[in-house]
Structure 1
């Protein structure tokens, strides 16, 4: 491949979304792109939703942070979540990662025990998220032996309380399982199957999700506000997810609002169900249905306050978009940097990993200064 004097972007062949990036000759660090090439990168991201920049294994956390915040002029210096709440033992996110000490907006996620020295850390252990602790109906030992896996939890990266959802997430593959390791996702409500590499990150387009709606459902979505629970990841910490990872099973296990950590009505997130892509103008169906609390009709003010009903509606609307033909499951190479439009896609971890399997990723997202519209 010839290295150009300027950045180039190529759509992934045969994939429902995504593109690859070839860096220009003047830098290997995407945070140091000139203004022209960065504008091209940003336009490519908002067009293709996921960009893959290979050969970034040595990208330092400082550069990953600088690149991430460059996409959003309104961005704060706040990691996408309140760190105290994120790491609360009551949160479903509690074990999801550890911060790089000198750049805490960069989170280390993965699987296995790593020796002292990585990014100034003492010896540390990461645990790959597993359906075995999060889903209501888990895979059997026999299914795991047959290399089955699940979408763990479809989501957007966002606190969904107090802080505005990040515009962009960057995810760097530092240590990854061999691409030759394959697992399969089966769909309980159909005969569909999706083969993925172990530890693949799955992406589904909010634009595709909107386009697949009926005309009636499009009008419903365009005129609906999603109200999220205060401290939503604590609110749902005793609940279990559906087998497709799209939402939670309603069994009355949610924490009552008066038992949650202190919260304020003004900090509850009330976001449109449809977000507009600022470059293409396309509507994207974007919500985190695991954390939904209520749905509100913008025209009439009518509220769907029944949690089970609100979840059922969200599940029905988004489910078609995670069918195999619409999912891009990124099979990681060491050094891949995935940049994804967190306001244009939902994504999910996949993969069943034994304790001895090593996986180490650097993830960065930073709360925006503005809510999506």
Structure 2
């Protein structure tokens, strides 16, 4: 029997929970009253990843309104093209590594349609009145040394695609939360195995297309005292138009950062940019509810690290900055640190984007060897905040 208020069910892990909505909400979390929304807000900040099942009919408008409610600093939309979307206009730029990651809902452009396969105009989740073709991000086009076709097909191997924080990391501030809705997902009986390929022997078996999360709070706690001190005193400078800057380069096999081969675009080749819009963010962000420190770095998009040592600032340039960040991050993607969410139809996942790192996983073919439908369709919403994250000592 449902109670009259929102119920929280912690997962059997060091973060994450599921939510049962109260009857009055009519299975739409956008209808929560102030008291229950406050409980949801605090749950997202405390548990970091929140799952609300049975939301396959949630409208794009409700998803947008729910997402926006988490951040009063979000300005009203500047135009109908969704200029306040979390990745801004770079999400569709022809040179961006994000360019194939989806399409916008025409009626609610802050909501993106993601997935794999062709969907007719009348299929659930396709709100655009025309057939759409979606491509699931695959490590095979992004990693420096991808798995072989045999490893993917016959051994069911896959990789973390890219560990990241949802953010443009240029001009716009990182979104507070991301909401991700699974409308059409493959059967949960299909599994793949993450191959780390770094000599550790680490592997992680998960459902096909699972989204993986790491707690930035736990990642900070896992650092040595010396590394915590370094992180607390370090500012991460991101490249201008970072997703375009890195587009000719390729990622490490664990998806944490890029291989340094000098292939990045020269700044002179980038679209017009302004120094004042380059993002310089603390390496550690403070959770406003729990007051915990979260190690929050986008390792693929960083450009430099600036560390305060006494009265001086020491700077690590691109290659050394990547190497340092990789050393800080790699222990925290070990299998026992990862919450791998295996998608069920109707799952709405709300995650605290300023408190976790996450990665796409999985390889999709369209129709599996046993005839299973491997198409996937999801709605994603995150909106650039009006304020940058801060570290409170």
The bucket for the TM-score relative to the shorter chain is over 0.9
Q: What secondary structure is seen at the aligned counterpart in 2 of 1:204?
A: strand
Q: Secondary structure at the match of 1:143?
A: helix
- Separation of aligned partners in 2, 1:285 and 1:248: 19
Matched, 1:315 2:332: no
Match in the other structure for 1:137: 145
Contact 1:16 1:325 in 2 (8 A): no
Aligned to 1:198: 208
Deviates more, 1:111-120 or 1:359-368: 111-120
| 1:319-330 → structure 2 map (5 Å cutoff) | 319-330=330-341
In structure 1, distance between residues paired with 2:314 and 2:261: 21
Give, in angstroms, the shift of residue 303 of structure 1.
4.0
The structure 2 residue matched to 1:368, chosen from 358, 382, 385, is 385
TM (normalized to structure 1)?
0.97
Deviation, 1:192, is 1.7
2-side partners of 1:80 and 1:42: how far apart?
19
For residues 310 and 211 of structure 1, what CA distance do their matches in structure 2 show? 21
Equivalents in 2 of 1:167, 1:217: separation in Å? 26
1:95 to 100, 111, 127: 100
TM-aligned CA deviation for residue 305 of structure 1: 4.2
Query: Per-residue displacement from partner, 1:192-243 (whole Å, max 9, x unpaired)?
Result: 2111100100000101110010000000000000000000000000000000
What is the match of residue 282 of structure 1? Answer: 292
Match of 2:119 among 114, 118, 124: 114
Distance 1:54 1:86 in 2: 28
Range with greater deviation from structure 2 (68-77 or 174-183): 68-77
Structure 1's unaligned 5+ residue stretches are: none
Q: Does 1:341 align with 2:346?
A: no
Q: Is the aligned partner of 1:35 residue 2:34? A: yes
Q: Note if 1:168 corresponds to 2:177.
A: yes
Residues 147, 16 of structure 1: alpha-carbon distance in 2 compared, 3 angstrom cutoff: farther
Asked if 1 retains the 8 angstrom alpha-carbon contact of 2:305 and 2:317, the reply is no
Aligned to 2:87, which of 62, 81, 85? 81
Alignment length (residue pairs): 370
SS in 1 for 2:272: coil
2:371 is aligned to none
Q: TM-score, normalised by structure 2?
A: 0.93
CA shift, 1:282, in A, is 0.3
| Runs of at least 4 residues off by over 6 Å | none
Identify which of 208, 212, 216 aligns with 2:222: 212
2:370 paired residue number: none
CA–CA distance in structure 1, aligned partners of residues 250 and 87 of structure 2 = 22
| 3-state SS, counterpart of residue 203 of structure 1 | strand
Q: Cα RMSD over matched residues?
A: 1.0
Query: What secondary structure is seen at the aligned counterpart in 1 of 2:377?
Result: strand
The whole-number CA distance in structure 2 between the counterparts of 1:212 and 1:62 is 39
Task: State yes or no: 1:245 paired with 2:243.
Answer: no
Structure 2: runs of 5+ lacking an equivalent? 78-83, 368-373
Indicate the residue corresponding to 1:50 in structure 2: 49
- Does 1:179 pair with 2:188? yes
Separation in 1, partners of 2:22, 2:15 = 23
SS at 2:141's partner residue? helix
